[in-house]
Amino acid sequence: MDLNAIKSRLNTLNKQSNSQNKEKKDYTLIYWKPKQEGKYQIRFVPSAHEVTNDPFHEIMMHYGVGKFPIMALTNWGEDDPIVDFTAKLRKTSEPENWRLAKKLYPKMRIFAPVIVRGEEDKGVRLFEFSKTLYMELLSIADDEDYGDFTDVAEGHDFVVNATKVQDRLGFNLSLRPKPKTSPLSKDAKEVKEWLATQPSLLKERFKYTYDKMKEELQKFISEEENGEEDEILSEPISEFDSDTKEVKSNKNNFNLESQGKKVTSKATEFDKMFDEGDDDLPF
């Protein structure tokens, strides 16, 4: 065995590993949100990942369980332990259980591919917004004066107004379509590239395994039982969000009823809910 060759190869691999670890993904080239107060002009682009070219992608997100928002596994058509947990809570008659179930159940967020005017060189990016803005956009699309505002030849740009509100994180957003139609770009080659090259949300966002998500939920339950109360959000917020607010949480004192008796330990209740012998759960 050539020990010098082995040492040389080991050093090479270590350098490659360190180089890869230092490489960080530039999320500003994947996601877009207003960085400061003011007006921005954007254009919604037909999606390259949807058969119908519908630009809107409805995503269910868990908030308040971990440090960061977690994409529900139901987005991939898979079983989700937090969804299963909330379903079990709602089978009880305890008001606290229902309140906790409402807090833990995934919330809808919308992502859509957009081009930001003045930043066309960054290409198509994903704009995340609330269900409220989503409904406004659907209403505009249903208005015969606008129709398909994503049309690459005669679509409509939108003005995004970002305003700061006291005691809120991020910005309050409002959208207004420009009255005159315009092309997505005068450069046909650029349009072709934008329609073909777009970030895929379900590939870019980190996906938890079932066990990892269950672990986060168990940690959340244990912290609640120990009286550890962190700030939570009454409305969804993420590292890419911009139109939500921050509030203080109230302690969750949920109980599950088992054969007419209340279980006192929430950690014990959690374990019992995910016991393999529980026929009410699909696993």
Pairing outcome for strands 172-177 and 158-163? antiparallel
Is residue 267 pLDDT above 70, yes or no? no
1 in any annotated domain: no
Q: Token pair of 99, please?
A: 């309140």
How much is the pLDDT for 167?
75
Residue 188, domain extent: 26-273
Exposure of 207 by Cβ count < 10 A (0-12 exposed, 13-18 middle, 19+ buried)?
A: middle
Handedness of CA 241, 244, 246, 249 (dihedral sign): negative
CATH number at residue 78: 3.90.198.10
Find which of 9-18, 95-104, 255-264, 267-276 is predicted with most confidence, using mean pLDDT.
Answer: 95-104
How much is the pLDDT for 93?
85
2 in any annotated domain: no
155-179: average pLDDT: 89
113 in any annotated domain: yes
How much is the pLDDT for 18?
60
201 in any annotated domain: yes
Is residue 251 pLDDT above 80, yes or no? no
7 in any annotated domain: no
Q: What is the pLDDT of residues 225-240, one digit of tens each?
A: 665 544 433 333 333 4
Residue 5: band (very low, low, confident or very high) from pLDDT cuts 50, 70, 90: confident
Average pLDDT, the chain: 79
> What does the alpha-carbon distance between residue 187 and residue 195 come to, in Å, rounded to a whole number?
13
218 in any annotated domain: yes
Q: Find out whether 104 and 65 touch, Cβ atoms under 8 Å.
A: yes
Q: Token pair of 74, please?
A: 């139901």
> What does the alpha-carbon distance between residue 191 and residue 189 come to, in Å, rounded to a whole number?
5
pTM, rounded to two decimals: 0.71
Q: What is the pLDDT of residues 154-163, one digit of tens each?
A: 999 999 999 9
16 in any annotated domain: no
Residue 10: band (very low, low, confident or very high) from pLDDT cuts 50, 70, 90: confident
260 in any annotated domain: yes
Pairing outcome for strands 38-44 and 158-163? antiparallel
Is residue 260 pLDDT above 60, yes or no? no
Residue-by-residue DSSP string for 11-29: HHHHHHHHHHHH----GGG
Q: How many structural domains comprise the chain?
A: 1
